[in-house]
């Protein structure tokens, strides 16, 4: 995780480092996601962790997980949740990185992406990490307003399909 911290520092990315502890099984980095015109004005974050146990199972290949959650209380109505999932399915088809998921257990929308890293061969890790962070933030900038519109029942999935995703 030290190399990821250095990459973030070199790119002037604000982050909080959480070292492994009794309550946290692995080191974790939190990066605040700044979402343009986010009506809820609530903090959103991107978490980075190395998935434990992968190096041993793959002879040195690491898996860096990017996990971003949207701070939005999900509507309890089944029809709204179905519309959110339909919209996410359409969006996921076009995404360059990761996938949006509606976690029904936790009532959150999140995006998850895993980056496989071969530390002996990966010479452009800084470029990959910085671009993935930018892409994830851009995905949230582009689509959050649609999630909010459906969740607040201002529009339905069918209305968005008719008008387009703008």
Domains of the chain: 2-163 (3.30.1460.70)
DSSP calls for 49-86: EEPTTHHHHTTSEEEEEEEEEE--PPP--HHHHHHHHH
pLDDT, average across residues 116-124: 82
pLDDT the model gives residue 46: 94
141 vs 83 pLDDT, higher one: 83
pLDDT the model gives residue 39: 62
Percent of the chain's residues with pLDDT above 70 = 97
pLDDT the model gives residue 40: 61
pLDDT tens readout for residues 70-114: 888 899 999 999 999 999 999 999 998 899 999 878 788 999 999
74 vs 123 pLDDT, higher one: 74
Predicted TM-score (pTM) of the model is: 0.88
pLDDT tens readout for residues 58-73: 887 899 999 998 888 8
Contacts of 60 (CB under 8 A, 6+ apart): 118, 119, 120
124 vs 160 pLDDT, higher one: 160
pLDDT the model gives residue 48: 96
- The Cα 149–Cα 156 span in angstroms is 8
């Amino acid at each position: 995780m030290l190399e990821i911290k250095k990459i973030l520092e070199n790119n002037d990315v604000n982050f909080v480092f959480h070292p492994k502890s009794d309550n946290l099984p692995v080191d974790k980095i939190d990066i605040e996601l700044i979402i343009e015109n986010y009506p809820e004005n609530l903090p959103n974050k991107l978490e980075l962790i190395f998935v434990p146990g992968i190096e041993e199972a793959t002879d040195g290949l690491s898996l860096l997980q990017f996990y971003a959650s949207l701070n939005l209380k999900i509507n309890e109505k089944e029809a709204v949740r179905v519309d959110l999932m339909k919209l996410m399915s359409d969006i996921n088809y076009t995404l360059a990185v990761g996938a949006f998921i509606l976690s029904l257990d936790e009532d959150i929308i999140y995006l998850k992406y895993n980056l496989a890293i071969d530390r002996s061969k990966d010479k452009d890790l800084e470029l990959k990490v910085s671009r993935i962070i930018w892409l994830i933030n851009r995905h949230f900038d582009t689509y959050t307003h649609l999630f909010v519109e459906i969740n607040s029942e201002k529009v339905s999935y069918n209305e968005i399909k008719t008008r387009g995703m703008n």
